[in-house]
Structure 1
Amino acid sequence: MTVTTDRTDDVGTDMPVDAPTLLYAIKQVELAIRARMDAILRPLGLTALQYTALTVLRRRGGLSSAELARNSFVTAQTMGEMLAALERRGLVARQVDPDNRRRMFTYLTDEAHQLLTEYDTEICALEEQMVRELNVRQREAFRGYLSRCRTALGETPPH
């Protein structure tokens, strides 16, 4: 027999003790998203991480590898390997920074722009499925909460 007691969270709401932590719930969502994105992108030979890097470059081209790694949530080494693969496929192009010849800026190619446009509908449908139970106001609040969480975690470097 399992005995469950309640606890009170910071806003005074009773929660079952065996309820998953927010970190666990977020990780479950992230894994589900990644699995679905990998399935959508598999015919292209792209991973969810590669797709994320391409969408970051679509929003803000001309990033260095280190900047792109930070914005794509991967290590600099992983980004270097990813950029080499994407460059071989003709999806990104790199240019030397005229002010610092050791630094290179990365841009999407026309082929990458076209590929992203073709898959926008499927990726948007996945996002819509994820938030379909939320109304417009709740979606905006959710986006704001996630942004605040990300900002808070960025304030303190990991140990």
Structure 2
Amino acid sequence: MSMVDPHTTLLKLLGQATHAFERELNRELRAALRDDLRPAHYAVFRYLAPEGSRISELAQEAGMTQQSMGELVAHMERCGYVERTVDPSDRRARLVVLTSEGRAALGIAAEQIRRIEHRLATSLGERGSAELRQWLGRVPEALAD
């Protein structure tokens, strides 16, 4: 077990943990799916509402420009994971929704995430894993206005 420099910021540690988790998820997904998804595409899956989302909403949630999110969505649309449909609440707008292939990919990702979390629990111990989950779950509340 490596020692963590006590001067390393929590933000850096959280970023490193996220990067390691997503790197492993990407490795496993690329083995299980076609080789056309990259970590940047996970923002679409991560923030897409079950009923669909507008590109502007996805971009805002992901902290990126609408143009960049539009490019990610266009790529995922070409790959068959999402499609754009008319927004029933405003027929001028479009919603990004999962296709059946996108839902299947999300199911595969969920299984891979469970496997990675199991590996973490094995490494950290059940108690350590549960405590990590509890502490991370409290961060948004602790930082809320």
TM-score calculated relative to the size of structure 1 = 0.67
Using the TM superposition, give the Cα deviation of residue 92 of structure 1 relative to its aligned residue in structure 2, in angstroms: 0.7
Using the TM superposition, give the Cα deviation of residue 26 of structure 1 relative to its aligned residue in structure 2, in angstroms: 1.1
Q: 1:144/1:67 Cα in 2 relative to 1: closer, same or farther (>3 Å)?
A: farther
Match of 1:95 in 2: 85
Is 1:67 aligned with 2:57? yes
Structure holding more helix per residue: 2
Alignment of 1:53-132 (within 5 A): 53-57=44-48, 60-132=50-122
Alignment of 1:38-57 (within 5 A): 38-43=26-31, 44=34, 45-57=36-48
Q: Tell me how far apart the structure 2 counterparts of residues 152 and 124 of structure 1 sit (CA, whole Å).
A: 27
Structure 2: tracts of 5 or more residues without a match: none
Kindly tell me the number of residue pairs found equivalent between the two proteins.
Answer: 138
Q: Tell me how far apart the structure 1 counterparts of residues 46 and 5 of structure 2 sit (CA, whole Å).
A: 39
Q: 1:55/1:17 Cα in 2 relative to 1: closer, same or farther (>3 Å)?
A: closer
Match of 1:143 in 2: 133
Q: 1:75/1:146 Cα in 2 relative to 1: closer, same or farther (>3 Å)?
A: farther
Using the TM superposition, give the Cα deviation of residue 81 of structure 1 relative to its aligned residue in structure 2, in angstroms: 0.7
TM-score calculated relative to the size of structure 2 = 0.73
Match of 1:35 in 2: 23
Using the TM superposition, give the Cα deviation of residue 98 of structure 1 relative to its aligned residue in structure 2, in angstroms: 4.0
Q: Which has the larger radius of gyration?
A: 1
Using the TM superposition, give the Cα deviation of residue 153 of structure 1 relative to its aligned residue in structure 2, in angstroms: 5.4
Q: 1:82/1:129 Cα in 2 relative to 1: closer, same or farther (>3 Å)?
A: same
Q: For residues 28-70 of structure 1, what are the alpha-carbon distances to aligned partners after superposition, in whole Å with 9 as ceiling and x for unaligned?
A: 112212221222233422012313422543x623211122233
Q: 1:36/1:143 Cα in 2 relative to 1: closer, same or farther (>3 Å)?
A: same
Match among 9, 13, 24 for residue 25 of structure 1: 13
Q: Tell me how far apart the structure 1 counterparts of residues 87 and 70 of structure 2 sit (CA, whole Å).
A: 17
C-alpha contact 1:37 1:123 (8 A) present in aligned 2: yes
Q: 1:128/1:52 Cα in 2 relative to 1: closer, same or farther (>3 Å)?
A: farther
